Amino acid sequence: MITAQRSNSRRALTLLELLLAVAITVLTGLAIAAVTTSIARGLTSMNESRSALQRAYAAHARLRAYTTGALAFISVDPDRGIAIWHNDDRYNNRVNLSELRIFWLEPSSDGTPGKELVIEMAAFPEEWEEDELELADAELAGVDDPFNEMLALRAQGWTSRSVIADGLESISVSHSAINLVHANRIRISLKVQIGADNTEDILMAFGLPNHKVPG
């Protein structure tokens, strides 16, 4: 009969036991939350770094595609971008508007944070005859600002543009000669955005084996 009595008398938790159980549950919960948060933060950071590096790699490949055969870097403006002499298709040893490429650093067009690198070049109407082309495809004089010249072309609707990289903060250029136009080795430093607050510096070196100083 004693056994039967014991089976019905289920003792409740004491206050101390209850508090201990609650404390252990809270501590365990906090530990799990901390670990989960830290893992999530690590993974986010890793993804952002990888994304930044992929953007930098894309920018690198596209900049190289435009600069490998280029003849000279002719102007750099930290606030606007880079102007290069891409080719001498008119064989006059001078920079014509159609031989100019501008890499603009502009605020992002889709509202995402950071800036984007946009390439712009002359694109005259296809139906033009050669004499019309020659007239419009003017030579840049030494005093001309290539950026303003491209803006003037754009105002007429005679340019084409495409984005080659986004998520950038700034761009700077250093080179191997006293004057940019005489340099056959150029370094471009990109500050690539990682997430909202951080940036990563990426250095890119470009050689211009076909380098030529415009006349």
Partner 1 sequence: MPRSSLRHPARPRAFTLLEALTAVTILGVVVLAVTAAITASQKVAFEGQKRILAAMSADDLMSELLTLTYDDLRARDATIQPVGSMVTLDGEQYPEVFWALGRTISVENVILHEESLDISVSGVLVRIVVTDGSATLAEAEVFVPEPIA
Q: Which residues bind partner 1 (CB under 8 A)?
A: 3-4, 6-7, 10, 39, 42-43, 46, 49-50, 53-54, 56-57, 60, 64, 68, 174, 176, 184-185, 187, 189, 200-209, 211
Q: Label each residue of 46-115 as H, E or C.
A: HHHHHHHHHHHHHHHHHHHHHHCCCCEEEEEECCCEEEEECCCCCCCCCCEHHHEEEEEEEECCCCCCCE
Half-sphere exposure of 104 (CA within 13 A, CB side): 18
Question: Residue 32 or residue 135: which is nearer to partner 1 going by CB?
Answer: 32
Q: Which of 65, 63, 128 is nearest to 98 (CA)?
A: 128
Report, in Å, the least distance between residue 143 CB and partner 1. Answer: 28
Pull the structure tokens for residue 39.
Answer: 């893992």
Report, in Å, the least distance between residue 101 CB and partner 1. Answer: 17
Question: Residue 4 or residue 196: which is nearer to partner 1 going by CB?
Answer: 4
Report, in Å, the least distance between residue 177 CB and partner 1. Answer: 10
Report, in Å, the least distance between residue 55 CB and partner 1. Answer: 11
Q: Which sign does the torsion angle of CA 108, 109, 112, 116 carry?
A: negative
Question: Residue 22 or residue 32: which is nearer to partner 1 going by CB?
Answer: 32
Question: Residue 2 or residue 143: which is nearer to partner 1 going by CB?
Answer: 2
